[in-house]
């Protein structure tokens, strides 16, 4: 039998060994998690926020041409991931696929060279909203003056009035690069969170994203 002082001296060592093993395991496991780094803008080597970038380039074409945009990217194990790798992970875990598609679309729409298309879609959305509101208002007028059809004109008028500002808000979001970028950033972050939850639940090492 070992002396009592020898047994006591080994107990803290066992505890430290166990803690170290757990920490190493957590560190190795956490490397599989996905990180998303948001879009950044640079002008003459200086990083700009979205508002600073817009105010700087609004009436300055040369500044607009000089802005360098680093679109948001995903990272795993400290290495940048391509969108194809992220797509493979969403297919592997069957999460975030729709959000990723919408995020990529919004990210593309936020690019400076896409402003004509943004304005076009915005005009179409606003026009559809105005047309819908006008049609509902006419229907409300018919209901109000036709006793056979009964009541309901008040509801129609309310819908007509709310459809116009709603379409205006939607049109503004379609035309705004900032709104599109915020949408993309929010959805990309959602994709990363959903992938990390799936990775956490699965608990097996990832392969497809590292190929």
Q: Can you list the residues of the chain whose pLDDT is less than 70? A: 1-31, 147-152, 203-211
Tokens of residue 19, six digits: 């803690």
Please state, in angstroms and rounded to a whole number, the distance separating the CA atoms of residues 206 and 211: 10
Strand ranges of the sheet holding 79-81, from the earlier edge strand across to the other edge? 34-37, 73-76, 79-81
How far, in Å, CA of 181 to CA of 72, rounded? 10
Pairing relation of β-strands 40-43 and 46-48?
A: antiparallel
Decide if 183 contacts 106 (C-beta within 8 A). Answer: yes
Q: What is the pLDDT of residue 29?
A: 44
Q: Which of 131, 128, 125 is nearest to 175 (CA)?
A: 125
Q: E-assigned strands of 39-196?
A: 40-43, 46-48, 68-70, 73-76, 79-81
Give the integer Cα–Cα distance in Å for 34 and 78. Answer: 9
CA distance 196 to 30: 10
pLDDT in tens, 30-80: 557 899 988 887 878 787 777 777 777 777 777 777 777 777 889 998 899
User: Any idea of the CA torsion for 101, 106, 111, 114, to the nearest 10 degrees?
Assistant: 100
CB atoms within 10 A of CB 29: 13
- CA 169 vs CA 99, 100, 108, 163: distances in Å: 22, 24, 21, 10
**Alpha-carbon distances, residue 11 vs 4, 5, 6, 14, 85 (angstroms):** 11, 10, 9, 5, 46
Strand, helix or coil for residue 68: strand
């Amino acid at each position: 039998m070992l002396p009592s002082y020898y047994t006591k001296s080994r107990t803290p060592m066992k505890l430290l060994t166990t803690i170290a093993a757990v920490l190493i395991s957590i560190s190795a496991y956490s490397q599989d998690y996905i990180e998303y780094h948001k879009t950044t803008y640079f002008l003459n080597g200086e990083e700009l926020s979205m508002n600073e970038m817009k105010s700087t380039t609004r009436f300055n074409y040369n500044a607009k041409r000089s802005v360098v945009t680093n679109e948001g990217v995903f990272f795993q194990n400290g290495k940048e991931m391509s969108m194809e790798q992220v797509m493979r992970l969403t297919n592997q875990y069957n999460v975030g696929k729709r959000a990723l598609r919408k995020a990529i679309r919004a990210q593309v729409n936020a690019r400076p060279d896409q402003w004509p298309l943004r304005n076009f879609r915005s005009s179409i959305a606003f026009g559809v909203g105005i047309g819908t509101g006008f049609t509902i208002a006419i229907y409300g007028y018919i209901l109000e003056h036709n006793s056979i059809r009964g009541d309901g004109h008040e509801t129609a008028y309310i819908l007509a009035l709310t459809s116009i500002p709603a379409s205006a808000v939607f049109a503004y979001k379609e035309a705004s690069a900032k709104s599109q970028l915020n949408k993309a950033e929010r959805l990309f972050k959602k994709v990363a969170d959903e992938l990390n939850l799936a990775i956490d639940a699965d608990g097996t090492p990832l392969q497809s994203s590292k190929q």
